[in-house]
Amino acid sequence: MEGTEVGARTLAEDFSCALIGEYFGNVAAIDEKTIRENIALGSEGGFPEEDRTVRAETVDYLLRYFSVIYLGLLANEDFRAAFGEAVNFEMEMNGKSRDYEHEMRRQQEQGEQPAPSEHSVIIDLGRFNLSVAKNISGRIKASMDMIAPFAEEFESLVKEETDEDAAKIGFCICNFMYLIKAFEKNPAFYEQVRSVVKAVADGLGIA
């Protein structure tokens, strides 16, 4: 049984590293050590279950608009900065008491809070599920297909990208568990992203 669990964990790690490398390998400074550290945080024994629980609506949104967020990170310095600040905040909260964290988040609250969800996903990257992996890969590909007509503009963004841009994107993507936590626990950040994504999607004429 132990060997099976270790094998599943290795498959989950390899899938996560391959997925990040496939989409971000040419636009971000990738640190595989940091990716694997975040995979551990997304497994039992890493972040507590509360911090690995994500609303189904959040998961659906991020997978649907993956490509638009991807473009935003490439094209806009302010967007990259917002992601970096969100990740840094979650890192600062790591290890702090729940009371301290809740107070900081209360001060952080702006505007309407998300409605309670009837469905949520508990992330466990220590287990490999082939059907889930295929679903995630397929939905990300479908999202990237939405921006396929803008391949020329995309290539221009990649050519204009600096090493500093790539480092900032890499920091956010490699620390993906902190980023996911920010989407779930930082409504102001989530709404900022949704606002930018809507503007970009409307401008490109994609749903």
* pLDDT per position as a tens digit, 138-161: 999 999 999 999 999 999 999 999
Q: What is the pTM of this model?
A: 0.89
The predicted-structure confidence for 95-129, as pLDDT tens digits, reads as follows 888 888 888 888 776 655 556 667 999 999 988 88
| Position 39 confidence tier, pLDDT thresholds 50, 70, 90 | very high
The predicted-structure confidence for 70-98, as pLDDT tens digits, reads as follows 999 999 999 999 999 999 999 999 888 88
| Predicted pLDDT at 1 | 40
| Predicted pLDDT at 96 | 84
CA–CA gap between residue 172 and residue 97 (Å, rounded): 24
3-state secondary structure the chain: CHHHHHHHHHHHHHHHHHHHHHHHCCCCCCCHHHHHHHHHHCCCCCCCHHHHEEEHHHHHHHHHCHHHHHHHHHHCHHHHHHHHHHHHHHHHHCCCCHHHHHHHHHHHCCCCCCCCCCCEEECCCCCCCHHHHHHHHHHHHHHHHHCHHHHHHHHHHHHHCCHHHHHHHHHHHHCHHHHHHHHHHCHHHHHHHHHHHHHHHHHHCCC
